Amino acid sequence: MYWTVERMGNLFCCVQVDQSTVAIKERFGKFDGVLEPGCHCLPWVVGSRLSGQLSLRLQQLDVRCETKTKDNVFVNVVASIQYCALADKARDAFYKLSNTRTQIQSYVFDVIRATVPKLNLDDAFEQKNEIAKAVEDELEKAMSAYGYEIVQTLIVDIEPDKHVKRAMNEINAAARLRVAANEKAEAEKILQIKRAEGEAEAKYLAGLGIARQRQAIVDGLRDSVLDFSENEIGAASKSSAVFIPHGPGAVRDVASQIRDGLLQASTHTSN
């Protein structure tokens, strides 16, 4: 676009500057002004010419820097730098730097390699914003003198060496397996406790039922014996002895045995 515009300027003494762009005008090889977007007259016959154009658009540069952390882990830090040239400092941006991207990359390397070695690997991941802020402050201070503004700096990735990454993944996997095993053991323990409590409660309820049954039988026997008067029992010529066996299994037969004994005694008396 620049050479086309310059050829047109040579023929018609006019140039066009695109939007978001400024042009640098020179006269006899000396800076003569900055041309804003639009159409401008450039009389080449008096030594005026268009030296070049400078984009004012936001640009991005991704920088990958290899460095070492405080705990001796090699990492690749990827920084994303967003910058743009300042219209009011277009002269400095055009003339002072021959390669803007290389200059920014050098400053990024310098700051990252001075900051990350002070941090352990885990701290480097946690303090990405602090690293980005340090890079941005240094770039802003350095690049403003060249007519550039640092809009934003991001640390988009911190990638350890592949062997370190594999080891970290194995450590994390082992830790997760230990946690899972502990949780499983704790769950089984709780199930066993609950099962034992249930069995104990069932046994208690069963024993309570037997005790109540026995008490009911004893109460029934007492009531049956009280139904007979002392005279009826003393008038019997032959008494019938009732033997009450002792034991849990024989208690339920006590009532029937006493009843049979009393009936036999009544029968003998009548005879």
The tens digit of pLDDT for each residue in 181-214 reads 888 888 888 888 888 877 777 776 666 666 666 6
Q: What is the pLDDT of residue 45?
A: 74
Lowest mean pLDDT among 49-63, 134-148, 226-240: 226-240
Q: What is the pLDDT of residue 160?
A: 86
Average pLDDT over residues 14-27: 89
Average pLDDT over residues 158-176: 75
C-alpha 76/C-alpha 63 separation (Å) is: 10
Q: Which residue has the higher pLDDT, 146 or 180?
A: 146
Give pairs for 27-36: CB < 8 Å, separation 24+. Answer: 31/91, 31/95, 34/87, 34/90, 34/91
Q: Which residue has the tokens 């804003």?
A: 36
Q: Which residue has the higher pLDDT, 159 or 256?
A: 159
**Is residue 233's pLDDT more than 50?**
no
Share above pLDDT 70 across residues of the chain, in percent, rounded to a whole number? 68
Q: Measure the N-to-C terminal CA separation of the chain; round to a whole number of Å.
A: 145
Q: What is the pLDDT of residue 5?
A: 44
**Is residue 82's pLDDT more than 80?**
yes
C-alpha 257/C-alpha 61 separation (Å) is: 106
Lowest mean pLDDT among 13-27, 31-45, 164-178: 164-178
Tell me: the pLDDT tens digits for 86-140?
999 999 999 988 889 999 999 999 999 999 999 998 899 899 999 999 999 999 9
Q: What is the pLDDT of residue 198?
A: 75
**Is residue 169's pLDDT more than 80?**
no
Q: Parallel, antiparallel, or unpaired for β 14-17 and 148-160?
A: unpaired
* Banded model confidence at residue 243, pLDDT cuts 50, 70, 90: low
Tell me: the pLDDT tens digits for 125-164?
899 999 999 999 999 999 999 999 999 999 999 988 777 7
**Is residue 227's pLDDT more than 60?**
no
C-alpha 207/C-alpha 190 separation (Å) is: 26
Q: What is the pLDDT of residue 211?
A: 64
pTM (two decimals): 0.58
Residues 6+ apart with CB under 8 A from 48: 25, 26, 27, 32, 42
**Is residue 55's pLDDT more than 60?**
yes
Share above pLDDT 90 across residues of the chain, in percent, rounded to a whole number? 33
CA distance readout (Å), 192 to 56, 97, 163? 73, 77, 44
**Is residue 253's pLDDT more than 70?**
no
SS (H, E, C) the chain: CHHHHHHHHHHHCEEEECCCEEEEEEECCEEEEEECCEEEECCHHHCEEEEEEEECCCEEEEEEEEEECCCCCEEEEEEEEEEEECHHHHHHHHHCCCCHHHHHHHHHHHHHHHHHHHCCHHHHHHCHHHHHHHHHHHHHHHHHHHCEEEEEEEEEEEEECHHHHHHHHHHHHHHHHHHHHHHHHHHHHHHHHHHHHHHHHHHHHHHHHHHHHHHHHHHHHHHHHHHCCHHHHHCCCCCCCCCCCCCCCCHHHHHHHHHHHHHHHHHHHHC
* Banded model confidence at residue 236, pLDDT cuts 50, 70, 90: very low
Average pLDDT, the chain: 78
